[in-house]
Amino acid sequence: MLQDEEHCTIEPEFVAFVVHTYNRYQRRHDVATCDDAELVGRLVGLEANLCLVIVSFIDTPGAPWRTVYRHAAVLAGVLSLEVLDRLRRRGASGDVLGFLIWTRRAVDNVLHEILRRLRATPVGLAIVAVRSLMPPDDAVALRQLLRALRVSQLTSFRPEKESDEDLRQDALASALDFVDRHEREITAPWTLPDRIELPALPVPIPGVDARRWDWPALVASETHATAALLLPALRGDLEALPEKVRLALRDHFESWNAQKRSGEEVLFDDSDHASPTDVESDLARRRAVQDFYAEARRRWGDRACVFLDALLRGRTVEEASKRAGVSRQTGHKYLRELKRPRTK
């Protein structure tokens, strides 16, 4: 793929061609009249065309197609002078490169309009930044989301059990869980097609193996995923999240106070105080724990298992992270990801 090629000097004539092509593009204002669904559809179609063209020049039969596709998506997002030059050296004509440049500018135009609309829905904007648009700094995006949820200054009144940061991350996890549930609810009745055929490209490109690349199915999948992410944010559905998080925290504190009034707090693995259970439920609990350990080891290695082990023994996230030798943010990431519903 492109990152494996040696760096070559870029001729001044090619630089002038790229600059001239970029400068010829005039921002189109017709996207401002699109409704939200049309805007999402246009975004997916444009990005799919970019990826298709790039894939046709970088595809390597021995490489997994998902790896090639992800690499093409990254190149499409950057489309720098160096990327264009390497595509040219792989046989992309001036017309093809011009099409890529114009399509990239059109994508930027659509994203500009999406961002303009999302500024009216600050919680939705923060959710989108965290979940998909590859922010330059994940920590910055998370801090912005905490501010949008109105929990960035939240403090714990039981620091021996949870730090301020732990409590804020619990609030964040509660919000993201709601987003996941809401996404499943709104997409359940959708009847999007399993395949979406895009119009033929206006430029000739090398053929792609249809047995390896089911492009209509891929476009349909991207359309569903992008709509599920953007439409709730654009329509303002997520602006109720701060209140839902506030209620979840209220329940959290009330539950803890009830435990405090009733006596000693029981830990998850405290067998001396655990309520009697039948054999089947005990085995189910053990299997669930084993599944979490297996999933954590598969995705992140032994450190994640050390983190989980400390957590199940009553340590805070901060303490468990320190014991595992990872940052507190990484520990919270483990928890958020493991809480997400897993598909078979």
Average pLDDT over residues 115-137: 81
Res 118 pLDDT > 90: yes
Give the distance from CA 108 to its chain's centroid.
19
- What domains are defined for the chain? 2-243 (no CATH), 274-339 (1.10.10)
Tokens of 287: 């299997």
In which band, very low, low, confident or very high, does the pLDDT at 274 lie, cut at 50, 70 and 90?
Answer: very low
Give 134-185 pLDDT, tens digit per residue.
444 567 777 888 898 888 888 877 676 667 777 787 787 778 788 888 888 8
Give the distance from CA 7 to its chain's centroid.
31
Whole-number Cα distances in Å, 265 to 161, 254, 257, 269, 318 = 11, 14, 10, 12, 20
- Encoded amino acid at 305, one letter: C
Average pLDDT over residues 110-138: 83
Q: Where are the beta strands (DSSP E) in the chain?
A: none
Query: Distance (Å, rounded) from C-alpha 133 to C-alpha 122?
Result: 15
H helix intervals, 59-163:
65-78, 81-89, 94-118, 122-131, 138-148
Query: Distance (Å, rounded) from C-alpha 173 to C-alpha 149?
Result: 11
Average pLDDT over residues 88-109: 95
User: Shortest CA distance to 251 belongs to which of 180, 194, 174?
Assistant: 174
Query: Distance (Å, rounded) from C-alpha 212 to C-alpha 151?
Result: 47
Is there a contact between 203 and 57 (Cβ–Cβ < 8 Å)? no
User: Which residues lie below 8 Å from residue 228, measured CB to CB, with a gap of 6+?
Assistant: 183, 186, 187
Is there a contact between 245 and 174 (Cβ–Cβ < 8 Å)? yes
- Encoded amino acid at 243, one letter: E
Per-chain mean pLDDT for the chain: 81
Query: Distance (Å, rounded) from C-alpha 243 to C-alpha 151?
Result: 11
